[in-house]
Structure 1
Amino acid sequence: MGTTTTRTVDLSAVDGAPHANLFPGSEPKTIRLTLAAGDRVDPHRHPGRQVVLYLLEGAVDLTVGDETHSLREGDVARFDGDQDISPHATERSTALVVLAPAAEGG
């Protein structure tokens, strides 16, 4: 049986805004995204990744491709990183974003 390593992080203690990498150099890439009300992240992509965004607090309008989804605290979105992504905070918000390598063959 293989050895597993457990790492824990206090989200409030991680430096970096709006993006804080929780486990640098590790996969899947895990980011704490913090946005003030009215802040947005310009459209961008994460090629070759599947993305999961869990909204811990606040409210975000998440544009993925041509669709916009209004997320509230506790909502989870999963999407393909090969399309344009742009979160816009409608109130102060914190999200946990996991960028996992896409599975081979889809």
Structure 2
Amino acid sequence: MMASGGLIVGALGAGALPLFVYLPLRYPPAAMRALFTVAFGLGTLAWTLANAQAGLLTAGLVRLALLSLPGTLAGLWLGARLFERLPRRGQVRAVALLLVPVALKLMGAF
């Protein structure tokens, strides 16, 4: 299953987003959050290294990335607190709702 997920990620350039569909159905909430965090972290690292290798990583982009870091860490903390309070069904629904704007973006709707 994860290999097919990798093919989808590579074909669509969607990063770790296909994991949003697969992980909630298969893993308990704590494992799901940990896997999401690692997948997005590794994806971001790979993206950063590839862009640096291609010479596309500018000082302005690095500055913007550093400026976004506090918001990212706050989002991780807040997400962990919220998911601790939601029942499993609520967690799956929350993930599904988060997928709607991502799907619209991938379809070119906005």
- Which has the larger share of strand? 1
Scaled by the length of structure 2, what TM-score is found? 0.26
- Which has the larger share of helix? 2
Scaled by the length of structure 1, what TM-score is found? 0.26
Q: Kindly name which structure, 1 or 2, has the bigger radius of gyration based on alpha carbons.
A: 2
